[in-house]
Amino acid sequence: MLNISPERINHLIEESKYDAFASLKKRATSDWMIKIFSGLLFLAMIALFLPWTQNIRAKGYVTTLDPESRPQMIQALIGGRIEKWYVREGEYVRAGDTIIQISEVKEEYLDPEILERTEQQIFAKSGSASAYRDKARNLEQQNEALKKGMEVKVEQNRLKIQQTNLKIQSDSLDLIAARLKIEIAENQLVRIESLYNDGLKSLTELEAKRLAVREAQAKVIELENKLAAGRNELLSLEANREAIINDYQDKIAKSRSEIMSALSDLYNTEADVNKLQSQYNAYEQRTRNYIIKAPISGIVTKAMRSGVGEIIKNGDQIVSLMPDNYQLAVEMYVNPRDMPLLQNGQKVRVQFDGWPAIVFGGWPNNSYGTFGGEVFAIDNLISENGQYRVLVAPDPDDIAWPEAVRVGGGANTITLLNQVRLGYEIWRQLNGFPADFYRIEKANSLKPKPPLKKVK
């Protein structure tokens, strides 16, 4: 075993005489490097307490605030053949200026006098409708006359029945009186015969009484026949009343049927008139569409069709037009995770493609070449790219956006959120936590905003 002693001999050795001891004491890193790293570490520790503005970065492109101010494609409403161009690419046009003229190619519209012929058909059909209308009116008058005639005939029949009833009553009274006369004459005949048998009356008086009885009997028979004739006449009048009503009702029904037929012809003719009028309006409108005009003022950017004589279909794009008066905006897309952190009026810094800029992510207010904006609208429905669309308008409190920016150009946006310490932000990023929820003060949100400046 080794005999190790606790006694030290370091003080007995002169280290300066030996180079090995100097090499052992020599350091691998120089002192100035240690000082640099120490300083950097100190600065990094201080930087952890610096303020840092949380933000949401997104990409988008330049657009316009109003949909009507965005680039528009002018389409052909009808198919046709290009006859003449009135504009060139890059030319400025005003609303209502003629862009292109086309001619008809469909066979059913090739008649040059189609409007005049259709108008004549409308006139003829309108005259036919007037004739049917007059016929229906005359038939209505005829129907009313039949109704009044039926009422008069029925009233005449009623009066005649009443007259016949009175006549029957009078004949009945005459018959009763005649029968009383027979009874009296027969009683007188019996007495005369008794007196004649006693020789108190002559044969002449007896024959006279017998004649009186025969006359009284004949009168009764006459009155009975007359009463029977009156009753038969009453029955005939009552039966004739029903015949009159049935006859007039049949005539009224036929007249009503003719009225319905005339009205049916009238409605059919009016339908034909309306159809022809609709065709006339369509032909007239189609004629107007031979001239395609600019709906708004702007610059013709691109012609989709070229030359003269080319056939186009309805709905084909002819030229694209960029409005001359618009408000710039940026359409950006954010991730669903950042969507709850956005709200209208939130401040945004915008960097346009092709525009020189120096951007500091955590200090956007100290960046150069960026322009102020604010959230104008947020879609509630996710887009096809899996992100939410946000529309950013220029900030009226910041400098105006450059006039050199054009619609369709790219843009990078930095949406400003809460201000935190840099150390907290690093810790949040390392742990994958979302940014802090940030709400704009109500005083700022209720502040009236000046109108946005339009770019011409």
pLDDT, position 456: 47
Convert the pLDDT of each residue in 117-176 to its tens digit.
Answer: 888 888 888 888 888 888 888 888 888 888 888 888 888 888 887 887 878 787 777 778
pLDDT, position 110: 80
Q: Which of 58-72, 192-206, 315-329 has the lowest mean pLDDT?
A: 192-206
pLDDT tier at 432 (50, 70, 90 boundaries)? low
The arithmetic mean of pLDDT across residues 247-275, rounded, is 87
Dist. CA 165–CA 161, nearest whole Å: 6
pLDDT, position 309: 81
66 or 431, which is more confident: 66
The arithmetic mean of pLDDT across residues 53-72, rounded, is 82
pLDDT, position 331: 92
Strand partners, 410: 61
348 has a pLDDT exceeding 50: yes
Work out the number of other CB atoms within 10 angstroms of the CB of residue 313: 11
Convert the pLDDT of each residue in 399-409 to its tens digit.
Answer: 888 888 888 88
Convert the pLDDT of each residue in 67-107 to its tens digit.
Answer: 888 888 888 888 888 888 888 888 899 888 888 988 888 87
200 or 258, which is more confident: 258
pLDDT, position 5: 61
Convert the pLDDT of each residue in 18-31 to its tens digit.
Answer: 666 666 565 555 56
- Please give the CATH architecture assigned to the domain spanning 44-69+326-445: Beta Barrel (2.40)
Tokens of 182: 């027979």
Q: Which of 2-6, 141-145, 378-382, 442-446 has the lowest mean pLDDT?
A: 442-446
pLDDT tier at 390 (50, 70, 90 boundaries)? very high
Query: 72-104+290-322: what CATH class?
Result: mainly beta
State pTM to two decimals: 0.54
428 has a pLDDT exceeding 80: no
Dist. CA 190–CA 21, nearest whole Å: 204
Percent of all residues in the chain with a pLDDT value above 90, rounded to a whole number: 4
Domain ranges of the chain: 44-69+326-445, 72-104+290-322, 114-288
pLDDT, position 418: 65
33 has a pLDDT exceeding 50: yes
pLDDT, position 88: 87
417 or 346, which is more confident: 346
pLDDT, position 174: 76
Phi and psi for 418 in degrees, rounded to 5? -80, 155
Q: Which of 271-275, 390-394, 417-421 has the lowest mean pLDDT?
A: 417-421
What rounded mean pLDDT belongs to the chain? Answer: 79
The arithmetic mean of pLDDT across residues 260-278, rounded, is 89
363 has a pLDDT exceeding 80: no
pLDDT, position 27: 55
Convert the pLDDT of each residue in 217-258 to its tens digit.
Answer: 777 787 778 778 877 877 887 777 888 888 888 888 888 888
The arithmetic mean of pLDDT across residues 362-366, rounded, is 60
The arithmetic mean of pLDDT across residues 423-429, rounded, is 70
**CATH number of 114-288, picked from 1.20.120, 2.60.40, 1.10.287, 2.30.30:** 1.10.287
